[in-house]
Amino acid sequence: MELKLSFPADSPPLAVIAAAKIAGVPISTDPTLTPGSTPIIHLDNGLKLRGNFVLLRHISRVANIPDLYQRDAIESSQIDEWLEYAPIFASGSQFEEACGYVDGYLLQHTFLVGHSLSIADIAVWSGLAGTGKRWESLRSSKKYQNLARWFNSILAEFGVLNEVTTTYVGKKGSVKPTASKVNEQQGSNANLAKVNGDAADKEKESRKPTSEVDLPEAEVGKVRLRFAPEPSGYLHIGHSKAALLNQYFAERYQGEVIIRFDDTNPDKESNEFVDNLLKDIETLGIKYRTVTYTSDYFPQLMEMAEKLIREGKAYVDDTPREQMQKERMDGIESRCRNNSVEENLKLWKEMIAGSERGTMCCVRGKLDMQDPNKSVRDPVYYRCNQTPHHRIGAKYKVYPTYDFACPFVDAFEGITHALRSSEYHDRNDQYYWIQTDMGFRKVHIYEFSRLNLVYTLLSKRKLLWFVQNGLVEGWDDPRFPTVQGIVRRGLKIEALIQFILEQGASKNLNLMEWDKLWATNKKIIDPVCPRHTAVIEERRVLLTLSNGPDDPFVRIVPKHKKYAGAGEKATTYTKRIWIDYDDAVSISVNEEVTLMDWGNAIVKEIQKDQEGNVTHLSGILHLEGSVKTTKLKLTWLPESDELVKLSVVDFDYLITKKKLEEDENFVDVVNPCTRKETPALGDSNMRNLQRGDVLQLERKGYFRCDVPFLRPQKPIVLFAIPDGKQQPVLRFAVPDGKTK
């Protein structure tokens, strides 16, 4: 049902129009009301709704997108608060103050309310967009980075907003009148965010970004996608790209995603993997309609296999596997290819029974053994396997291959578009051929490039080798490219999502550096993570300040000087303090240095042992000295029993080669030293760290707490988080450090 929206030509209700565009609510516009009039929606029954907020709430209630407004009592009230706040952006004198307020709020929030888009986001977004060049100049600057990130992400997700701003926002920075109706067609003009390529190429004939891609023959509201991992390992960063792209297209076309476990190989699969894959999917924020299993369709798949055998489109083959592989490569037809239907059905029953004769056989599709594309040279459809299935036990002795099951279940479940990485390109013909033989409609395939990263293995078989050989702690090891592994290392999911979506749905193959991902992560954690102090325990040096406080005293200082939300910490000041050995050897006699968060000091004496190692420093406080004149800014800790023990852990890549060649054995390039632990001392405030907390050790980097404080003799374990800079790994290693 189309709504009619009337408004004054000089003040179109930008938020209402934007909400309708995003929500898939068709409207016609009538910009003929007298200036100063309240916008009106005319309903079919003759009733009228008036006022921006009333119209926004109405659109949210008839929207195709859930939860735009109708949430629990608290979140709905929070949305109301933001709706009342949004008009402040139209006030010239308060504009930048409002930008600063929302920018600060968005430091720790992806959306204004809850964890998904609401009309609060649309109202504030429209308030900013409506100021035109004033906001555009700030958006391109670095003044309000969180606000710009949020604004850009909404524009990227709902490219149709470009049409709204083009039509209604004037070049001089105010909402402009329009004399023509807006094209309200939904979906066909939705734009994929421009995340690759040159901004100069942005304009095309259709006003689409150059990187925009469309799903073939996609209809808004009718797109159904599936993310179909095999439960034979944990979700890794490559799978994450597939999952997030499925969600992206589902949201863009107002469709849905289902999660399907491709559980056709009982030798590799387990409930542990199912449970953890669901956990990882939840971590990524993937919204799905339902969870299914290929094993749900085993009866139908067996019926289909028998149907194809009866139709002469499949046959049973007892050729030994190695010989079969060679014949496929050479284009030689199997001697079983022309067996009678009766003989094939007889052997098929032997396979189902799991008899000795049956286990020698497999079912193959009768496609084309001379096709240059080897994937269509009579692929295997079914094999015998006596291993009990993790869900259904020992009920079946035959299992379908992925090549057979995938096109069947995709069609059976009503999938409209199957997203597959380009490594499967040669199997697309096979997929379509099998679907045709089965008598199903065509499911469209959309290819995207596989995510490849330097020094990284993404094969689950190879990752399993590391687990089984004890070279890592498990699938959540921080050296692993699994979602659980990189999150345990200290990566924020927001950074992973941003990193993947910036690549878009491109089909271009490339080898990505980890540095970009970790640099994105740093931008998220640096503005908010608390600062603490640590000193490497080995060969630490005592600095005695002769005029320092005889009685230690405590000051309460912020954990982050630019972000009050990080909280406060207690810093103890004493006349005897610890500094790192590397700092001690950098100091000269009578040199003035800065003790961070205290002031300057002058080192008067340096004591060394017989081997020339610095063992003690003596000096005086010189608090009136200027910190601008000192070369060395030193972190320090008080000599105190309250210090906590730390184990600072740094990691290297699991392999030593940037990219493996196809015929190269990864075992030959396994890195023998990928983990080093360095004992350190930390400030007493670190007793309050919780597992998963991210912090910065000043002058040492960013860390994630993996094991919190339990008792004085057990160290807090901190994992070093890369910051995206090219730097030596294992930088905290010491000669006697523990390695693995």
Q: Would you list the DSSP string of 232-291?
A: SS--BHHHHHHHHHHHHHHHHTT-EEEEEE----TTT--HHHHHHHHHHHHHTT---S-E
Q: What single-letter amino acid sits at 415?
A: I
Alpha-carbon gap, residue 40 to 34, rounded angstroms = 12
- DSSP conformation class of 196: S
The residue annotated as part of the active site, out of 202, 268, 442, 450, is 450
Q: Would you say 4 and 28 are in contact if contact means Cβ atoms under 8 Å apart?
A: yes
What is the predicted pLDDT for the residue at 180?
31
Alpha-carbon gap, residue 13 to 638, rounded angstroms = 61
Q: Would you say 334 and 317 are in contact if contact means Cβ atoms under 8 Å apart?
A: yes
For 656-734, where are the E strands, in sequence order?
675-682, 694-697, 701-707, 716-721
To the query of whether residue 450 is one of the catalytic residues in this protein, the response is yes
What is the predicted pLDDT for the residue at 213?
63
Tokens (6 digits) for 7: 């408004």
H helix or E strand, kind and range, residue 122: helix 119-129
- DSSP conformation class of 440: P
Residues whose CB falls within 8 Å of the CB of residue 73, separated by 6 or more in sequence, listed in order:
none
What is the predicted pLDDT for the residue at 399?
97
Q: Would you say 694 and 704 are in contact if contact means Cβ atoms under 8 Å apart?
A: yes
Three-class SS of 131-142: CCHHHHHHHCCC
CA 608 to chain centre: 51
Residues whose CB falls within 8 Å of the CB of residue 145, separated by 6 or more in sequence, listed in order:
103, 523
Alpha-carbon separation of residue 78 from 65, 70, 81, 425 (angstroms): 19, 11, 5, 48
What's this model's pTM, rounded to 2 decimal places? 0.69
Q: Pick left, alpha or beta for residue 36 (phi over 0 → left; psi -120 to 50 → alpha; otherwise beta).
A: left
Location of structure tokens 């057979």:
404
Q: What single-letter amino acid sits at 652?
A: D
What is the predicted pLDDT for the residue at 198?
30
Alpha-carbon gap, residue 496 to 500, rounded angstroms = 6
Bridge-based pairing state of the strands 599-608 and 576-579 = unpaired
Query: If we measure between CA atoms, which residue out of 647, 714, 635 comes closest to residue 679?
Result: 647
Query: If we measure between CA atoms, which residue out of 699, 574, 704 comes closest to residue 637?
Result: 574
Alpha-carbon gap, residue 418 to 405, rounded angstroms = 13
What is the predicted pLDDT for the residue at 266?
96
Alpha-carbon gap, residue 175 to 31, rounded angstroms = 13
What is the predicted pLDDT for the residue at 506?
67
Alpha-carbon gap, residue 53 to 19, rounded angstroms = 11
Digit-coded pLDDT (tens) for 467-512? 999 999 999 999 999 999 999 999 999 999 888 887 766 666 678 8
Alpha-carbon gap, residue 110 to 490, rounded angstroms = 18
User: Which parts of the chain sit beneath pLDDT 70?
Assistant: 1, 91-92, 170-213, 504-509, 726-740
To the query of whether residue 561 is one of the catalytic residues in this protein, the response is no
Alpha-carbon gap, residue 109 to 681, rounded angstroms = 33
Residues whose CB falls within 8 Å of the CB of residue 580, separated by 6 or more in sequence, listed in order:
535, 536, 540, 541, 634, 635
Alpha-carbon gap, residue 716 to 549, rounded angstroms = 29
Residues whose CB falls within 8 Å of the CB of residue 477, separated by 6 or more in sequence, listed in order:
466, 485, 488
Q: Which residues pair with 225 in a beta bridge?
A: 257
The residue annotated as part of the active site, out of 208, 226, 460, 489, is 460
To the query of whether residue 337 is one of the catalytic residues in this protein, the response is no
Query: If we measure between CA atoms, which residue out of 487, 482, 483, 463 comes closest to residue 654?
Result: 463
What is the predicted pLDDT for the residue at 501?
80
The residue annotated as part of the active site, out of 163, 184, 230, 537, is 230
What b/e sequence results for 641-672 when a residue is b if at least 16 CB atoms lie within 10 Å of its CB, and e otherwise?
Answer: eebbbbbbbbbbbbbeeeebeeeeebeebbbe
Q: Length of the chain, please?
A: 740
Tokens (6 digits) for 358: 């049956």
Strand order in the sheet with 224-227: 224-227, 256-261, 291-293
**What value does the CA radius of gyration of the chain take, rounded to a whole number of Å?**
32
For 295-404, where are the E strands, in sequence order?
314-317, 362-365, 380-384, 398-400
What is the predicted pLDDT for the residue at 717?
97
